[in-house]
Structure 1
Amino acid sequence: MNISPPKSMLRTLLVAAIATTLTASVIIGMSGTASAGETQTANSAPHFTVEQSGKRVIKQGVIAYNKGDYAKAAAFNRDALHQGLRIKHKTIVYSNQCATLGSQGRYEQALAACDSALKLAPTNWQAYSNRAAVNWLSGDKVQAKLDIKSAEALDSTAAAITYNINLFG
């Protein structure tokens, strides 16, 4: 007698496993360190960068992101964009939203957020680094390498940039 679970249950378990792996990849990326025992998937995922600010609504988004609650982080970021922030803070929010949406696999929306950040501040290395990570994950390896090189030209000491350069080759 075949006692295998229904396909819908297997699909749900697979999605949960992928989400857990992605969350672990982002958490490892945020900590800047990974032990030799980490999974290959976690080691081969690019790192996103979220930037803190003195603005409460931005802080709330970063806290939610760092907890892996990307839906809440995205909501805080959307909220922040409707609060009449200065360009500096809008740039941070757009770049953080790029990381948040990229972590959710919403690559087109993530790229749009990074592009918005770069229109406001063309020298924002975090936005270039996040856009590189999104491009890498979405399969555009050439653009990912170009973006990470742009980020490196702006800040050659950032850990996320160094990690992604090594990953991208």
Structure 2
Amino acid sequence: MNVKILTIIFVSIIFSSAFGQIEPERTGIALGYMTTPNSIVYRSTWSENSAIDVWVDIPEISAGDFGGFRLGAGSGYAIFLDRQKYFCFMVRPQLSFAYISETMNYFEIGAGVAGSAVAYLDSLGVPNTDVYAGISLGSVARFGDGTKTFDFILTKDRPFGILIGVMRYF
């Protein structure tokens, strides 16, 4: 065969596989769960490529000599990059707030960014559902009982860490 024809066929295959894929529609609202910081998440999309996330942490209660509780909430702006047929990437700048009552009572503010790969489950027969895997990093300020602490470096301590989650769009 002619080299030009083979080149055209090869370029057509590469071009169609890279740019010809149809992404599943992700607009409207979504509900889900994410592990950092162990939250129920509500998502309201602004477009195919961005959304506002608001979450409420699942309350944590511990009993015993050092018993206490943790209540929190947060918000973030999710940006979806490199959308393809089966997956995309998400970057989410975020703020997190928590009240912790343990041996000492304190209020915590976290500012950071989450990044994850997002797999669409539509092709597996679970329409309008996404699975997330990634990490969130940030800085944390804690205020309470006359003390203040700040973690200025990007930390993966609470409320940040490994991000695993699932979202269902409605």
Give the TM-score, by structure 2 length.
Answer: 0.28
- Higher strand fraction: Structure 1 or Structure 2? 2
Instruction: Compare CA radii of gyration and give the structure with the larger one.
Output: 2
- Higher helix fraction: Structure 1 or Structure 2? 1
Give the TM-score, by structure 1 length.
Answer: 0.28
